[in-house]
Structure 1
Amino acid sequence: MGRGGQSLARVAVIVRAGAVPLWWLGVLAAGIGFLIPGLTGRRIGVYAGAALFVVCAAVVALVRRRGYTAWAERASRAGKFDYLQDRAVTLRNWRWSHRWWLAAGFLLAVASSFALPVAGGAALAGAGAGLWLKAVWLGRRERRDDALLWVRTDWAGAGRPTGKLVKGYRTTGTGAGDAAPGGARRRR
Structure 2
Amino acid sequence: MSGIRLFVGLGNPGEKYAATRHNAGFWWIDQVAAATNSKLAVDAKFFGFAGKLSPTADSWLIKPTTFMNASGKAVAALANYYKISPAEILVIHDELDLPAGSIKMKFGGGHGGHNGLRDIHSALGTADYWRLRVGIGHPGSKNEVVNFVLKAPTKDEQHVIDDSIYDSCKLVDLMLKGEFDSAMLKLHTKK
TM-score (norm 2): 0.27
TM-score, structure 1 normalization: 0.28
Which of the two has greater helix per residue? 1
Larger radius of gyration: 1
More strand by share: 2
